[in-house]
């Protein structure tokens, strides 16, 4: 990594008139880049996890929104706005749990309304400029999250993480992995336990790949090993990301996060969630209001393309679980470390 902790991974890149993504369904075996020129392919890329991670989904959706509106007729603002809302609603159906998707689209729609007196051709260019701003802001925010989290990492810490929260899941650096990257850069001599993250193995396929590229000491474990490691005193700190945080601190993240938090509490292991403020949804009072995406059953009835369960087996495959705020030690954000009472502290942040 460079002196600025640049991971050199560009999972999302705007190329003049189209979006280029690193298709994460091929990792770690192949690095395949796809050029995307229309909103339908952006929707498919988000739905099929070719691009994934809440911040990255928001960025991709912002560019996809522009690709969706750029060819719209430039007659009246009223007819243009009808199509704008249709495209935004369409994109939101791709991944309902990740709040960054909704946040990015809402920001773009508000931008359009603020400039509704301008020519529609000019509004389109403003939308693209705003999408690029969202992308650039995410990079700066994630770097700050990593820097702020440094104070939590002691020398020779063993850190456990779940799913993937690095440059692949964001504009750059990551959230939870940004803390890890910065700790490594600061010569804290860390070691990382990487949960495989069933059923789609984002930890095994993606986090391991990122950490190995950055030459950070790590070991891959199955999800069910984490409790045993904590019991043996081999985990000093857990840092995860999130797809949506409710106003009281309840947190939706990749399935398997909630049991980690419960085990951490039982074993006195600090449990932190690293998120940009855009992932905090102050409109939702608690986690039971967070919509949870349920995915296709073949993701758990098969493994690496091979069937591992009987034909016609019934499945239940939620992509996320919700960790109650009482199990969370704190949130690592671009504005610093947030400790309980989360509702009170969040309200301060959003009213400052």
Q: pLDDT of 243-294, one tens digit each?
A: 999 999 999 999 999 999 999 999 999 999 999 999 999 999 999 999 999 9
Contact residues for 221 (Cβ-Cβ < 8 A; gap 6+): 193, 194, 195, 196, 229
Calculate helix-pair angle for 120-149, 77-92, nearest 10 degrees.
Answer: 30
pLDDT of residue 203: 97
Residues 6+ apart with CB under 8 A from 111: 126, 127, 130
Instruction: Decide: helix, strand or coil at residue 96.
Output: coil
pLDDT at 8: 61
| Rounded distance between C-alpha atoms, residue 342 and residue 348, angstroms | 10
Structure confidence by residue, pLDDT tens digits, 205-245: 999 999 999 999 999 999 999 999 999 999 999 999 999 99
d(CA 266, CA 263): 5
Q: How far apart are CA 53 and CA 100, in angstroms?
A: 9
pLDDT surpassing 80 at residue 299: yes
Catalytic-residue membership of 352: no
Q: What integer pLDDT is reported at residue 352 of this predicted model? A: 77
- How far is Cα 301 from Cα 181, in angstroms, rounded to an integer? 34
Task: Name 201's Cβ contacts closer than 8 Å, sequence gap at least 6.
Answer: none
Catalytic residue among 195, 243, 250, 321: 243
> Structure pTM?
0.91
The rounded Cα 311 to chain-centroid distance in angstroms is 33
Mean residue pLDDT of the chain comes to 95
Q: Alpha-carbon distance 36 to 68, whole Å? A: 12
Instruction: Write the pLDDT tens digit of every residue in 30-57.
Output: 999 999 999 999 999 999 999 998 899 9
Contact 68, 87 (CB under 8 A): yes
| Mean pLDDT across 320-327 | 98
pLDDT confidence of residue 98: 80
Cα separation, 287 vs 279, whole angstroms? 13
pLDDT at residue 60 is higher than 90:
yes
The rounded percent of the chain whose pLDDT value lies above 70 is 98
Residue 196 predicted with pLDDT over 90? yes
Which residue blocks in the chain are alpha helix, DSSP H? 39-47, 54-69, 77-92, 99-114, 120-149, 176-185, 202, 208-213, 226-231, 257-266, 298-301, 342-351
pLDDT, tens digit, for every residue of 7-23?
Answer: 468 899 999 999 999 99
CATH of domain 147-351: 3.40.50.10470
| pLDDT bucket at 3, cuts 50 / 70 / 90 | very low
pLDDT at residue 6 in the model: 47
> Is a pLDDT exceeding 80 seen at residue 74?
yes
Q: Which residues pair with 103 in a beta bridge?
A: none
Q: Report d(CA 64, CA 43) in Å as an integer.
A: 8
Distances in Å between the alpha carbon of 93 and those of 47, 89, 262?
9, 7, 31
CATH 3.40.50.10470: which residues of the chain? 147-351
Which residue(s) pair with 240 in the sheet? 273
CATH code for the structural domain at 12-143: 1.20.120.420
Q: Where in the chain is the domain with CATH 1.20.120.420?
A: 12-143
Categorize the per-residue pLDDT at 2 as very low, low, confident or very high, splitting at 50, 70 and 90: very low
> Which of 3-12, 74-83, 97-106, 175-184 is the least confident region?
3-12
């Amino acid at each position: 990594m460079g002196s600025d902790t640049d991971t050199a991974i560009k999972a999302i890149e705007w190329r003049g008139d189209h979006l280029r993504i690193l298709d994460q369904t091929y990792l770690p075996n192949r690095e395949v880049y796809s050029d995307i020129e229309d909103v339908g392919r952006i929707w498919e890329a988000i739905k099929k996890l070719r691009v994934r991670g809440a911040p990255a989904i928001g960025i991709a959706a912002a560019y996809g929104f522009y690709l969706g509106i750029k060819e719209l007729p430039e007659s009246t603002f009223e007819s243009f706005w009808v199509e704008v809302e249709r495209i935004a609603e369409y994109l939101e159906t791709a991944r309902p749990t990740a709040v960054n998707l909704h946040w990015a689209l809402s920001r773009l729609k508000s931008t359009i309304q603020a400039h509704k007196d301008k020519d529609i051709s000019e509004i389109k260019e403003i939308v693209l400029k705003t999408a690029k701003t969202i992308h650039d802001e995410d990079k700066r925010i994630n770097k700050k999250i990593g820097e702020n989290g440094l104070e939590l990492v002691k020398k020779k810490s063993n850190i456990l993480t779940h799913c993937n929260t690095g440059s692949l899941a964001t504009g750059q650096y990551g959230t939870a992995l940004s803390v890890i990257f910065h700790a490594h850069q600061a010569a804290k001599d860390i070691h990382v336990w990487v949960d495989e993250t069933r059923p789609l193995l984002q930890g095994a396929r993606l986090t391991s790949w990122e950490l190995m590229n950055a030459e950070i000491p790590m070991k891959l474990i199955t999800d069910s090993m984490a409790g045993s490691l904590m019991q043996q005193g081999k985990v000093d700190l857990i840092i995860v990301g999130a797809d949506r945080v409710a106003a009281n601190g309840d947190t939706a993240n990749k399935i398997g996060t909630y049991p980690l938090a419960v085990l951490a509490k039982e074993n006195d292991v600090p449990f932190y969630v690293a998120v940009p403020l855009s992932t905090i949804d102050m409109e939702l009072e608690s986690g039971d209001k967070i919509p949870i995406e349920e995915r296709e059953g073949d993701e758990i009835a098969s493994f690496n393309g091979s069937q591992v369960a009987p034909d016609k087996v019934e499945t239940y495959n939620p992509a996320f679980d919700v960790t109650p705020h009482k199990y969370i030690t704190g949130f690592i954000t671009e504005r610093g470390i947030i400790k309980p009472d989360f509702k009170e502290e969040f309200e301060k942040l959003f009213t400052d």
